[in-house]
Amino acid sequence: MATSRVALYVIIGSCANMSRGCRLAEAWHSCAAPYRDKRRQERMHLHPIRSISDPLYDRWLDVYQRSFPLQQQVPVSVHNAALRPGGMGARDVRYVVCMGEDDGECLGMAHFELFKADGTAALWYLAVAPDRRNEGIGGWMYDSIMHTMQSEDPACKACVIEVELPDKCADPDLATRRIAFYERHGAVWLRGCASLVDVGWQPPLKMGVMVHPFARLSEHDMRAVARSVLGNLLAED
C-alpha cells in the first residue's frame, strides 16, 4: 500500500522548495486488518536501514521502484545521499524493510519521518512487494509504523499521509481502495485539502491529504497538522 514522495531534497540541502509526500479518528490499532497467517505475522519484523551499505537497501529500492508511479518517485540518487554519513542532518528520517524471518524474503518497504519538535510525523512511502499483496502485510506494516511513531514520540499528535486522488490518476479504483485502506486503519481523508508533489524530474502531481490522529483531534486540528508538515505545498479550500 502506499503513497507519496519525500522532500529528501531538503535533507541533502538542495532544491529546498521541492515537495515531500506519501500515501486518518480512532486509535491506530482499532481497525487493523488481520494478517491472514497469524503464525507468520509473528515472524515478520521491520528492519531499519541506516546506511547505503546495508545489503537490504537494494531490496528496499526494488520494491520502491516497482510500486510507485514515476511522478511519485524521488530519484534514487537522493535516497543514496540521504543514507550516506551525515546525509539526513538533524532530521529523524527512517527507511525500513519488512522481512520474513523464516526465509529472509523482503515483503515490503516504508519511509517515514518524525518531527518531534512539532509533535507530528509523516509516512512518505509504504508498499508491499507486488507478489505479496492482498495478504494483510500492508496493514501489519502500517500498524507497526504508527505504533513506532507513538512509542518513540508520545507527544506526537498525528501522522500526515498523501494519497493519489481517484480523479487525478490512471487507476481510480486502486486509488479509492488505497484511501479505504488508510481509513480502515484509522486515518481521516481531509477533503478540500491537496498537496502538490514535485519530485524534480517529472510533472508535478496533485495528491490528496490524509491524517492519522493519535489523539482526539478536530478537523481544524488535523488541518493544522497537515499545514505544519507540508507547509506551502498544502492547498486548502
Distance separating the N- and C-terminal Cα atoms of the chain? 27
Cα–Cα dist 231/130, whole Å: 32
Which set of grid coordinates corresponds to residue 44? 515478520
pLDDT digits (tens, 9 = 90+) for 52-87: 999 999 999 999 999 999 999 999 999 999 999 999
Which set of grid coordinates corresponds to residue 215? 489523539
Instruction: Give me the domains of the chain, ranges plus CATH numbers.
Output: 8-236 (3.40.630.30)
Picking from 15, 225, 35, the residue whose alpha carbon sits closest to that of residue 141 is 35
pLDDT digits (tens, 9 = 90+) for 97-141: 999 977 789 999 999 999 999 999 999 999 999 999 999 999 999
Cα–Cα dist 126/196, whole Å: 19
Phi, psi of 145, rounded to the nearest 5 degrees: -70, -45
Residue 181 has pLDDT above 50, yes or no: yes
- Percent share of the chain, pLDDT over 90: 77
Contact at 8 Å (CB) between 160 and 121?
A: yes
pLDDT digits (tens, 9 = 90+) for 183-212: 999 999 999 999 999 999 999 999 999 999
Cα–Cα dist 60/214, whole Å: 27
Contact at 8 Å (CB) between 30 and 184?
A: no
The H or E element spanning position 124 is strand 120-128
Cα–Cα dist 7/228, whole Å: 14
Contact at 8 Å (CB) between 237 and 52?
A: no
Q: How many residues does the chain have?
A: 237
Alpha carbon of 57 to those of 36, 54, 76, 220: distances in Å? 27, 6, 11, 38
Phi, psi of 152, rounded to the nearest 5 degrees: -85, -20
On average, the pLDDT of the chain sits at: 85
State if pTM tops 0.75: yes
The H or E element spanning position 161 is strand 158-164
Angle, helices 76-83/57-67, rounded to nearest 10 degrees: 150
